[in-house]
Chain A
Amino acid sequence: MSNKEFLKKLYFLQDLDLLIQQVEDPQYTEKTGLQVSPDKVEELKRKRKEIAQELRKANPMMYQRYEMLRRKYGRGITRVVNRMCTNCFAALPASIIPTDEKIITCPNCSIILIWLE
């Protein structure tokens, strides 16, 4: 799996993580009245597991970092906007240039970075 594909799959995984977190929050149903099917949530969790296994196999170190950061910040990957990390809002040093050659992490907060300008 190329780095580009890995990152694309990783932020899809994060979307799934955020969705699962959202629908399992008791306040969600309380405030919105929206219902979700528990069977479908379980199905989504199975899908999440499959993608996670694929990512773990492709790049164990980066996947582990994602999980560690997710526990710490609630997410493991974030966008770079105007050369700034949108997790810790630190400006990135000029030496950091977007490339497909390697996966880049924030030198300040360690989060995995993606450029989606």
Chain B
Amino acid sequence: MLKELLREDRIILDMKAETKEEALKELIDVLDLPDDKKEILFKSLMQREILGSTGIGKGIAIPHSRSIVVDNITLVVGISKKGVDFEALDGKPVHLFFMLIATPNDPSMKYLSALGSIARVSRSIVGEGEIKTDFSSPKEVVDYILSHDHE
């Protein structure tokens, strides 16, 4: 599942963001959308954050939303070496972001399955101890994530 969604051109190796808002904007920027669509997506993601942070703790966050602005289920991965204050459940800075956006209609339930896969991979990564943040290429990030994807 994750293998299909991971794209090397949708990976940020060293995020500059320091706050939740900046992090979401930086992740959204990867999608190369016009400004009006970016704004819709940002509002949608922030709305979900208001219900409870998607910073699941131990350095990982999974911001997600269904949105009218995308044509397909879309995943963006961001690495932050310095960490972002994402108001995570455990209050720790977030180093690894999985931003998942799905279309409003999702007949195949792909979205929930993808969220489930990301949550499973995240648990596997944090189970290892420290999150790796030092990558020299997007491919390395893809390999790192997939090495934790034991379906």
Contact = CB atoms under 8 A, between A and B. Distances in A.
Interface of A: 11-12, 14-16, 18-19, 22-23, 25, 27-28, 31-37, 40-41, 44, 73-75, 77-79, 81, 86-87, 114, 116
B116 A75 contact: no
Interface of B: 34, 36-37, 40, 43-44, 47-48, 50-52, 54, 56, 62, 65-69, 71, 89, 103-105, 112-113, 115-116, 118-119, 123
Contacts of A35: 52, 89
Contact of B116 (A18, A25, A31, A77): A31
A73 B68 contact: no
Contacts, number: 83
A34 B54 contact: yes
Given A44-B51, A116-B68, 4 more contacts: A12-B43, A34-B56, A75-B104, A81-B71
A31 B65 CA distance: 15
A40 B68 contact: no
Contact of A15 (B43, B52, B62): B43
Contact of A78 (B56, B67, B104, B113): B104
A15 B43 CA distance: 9
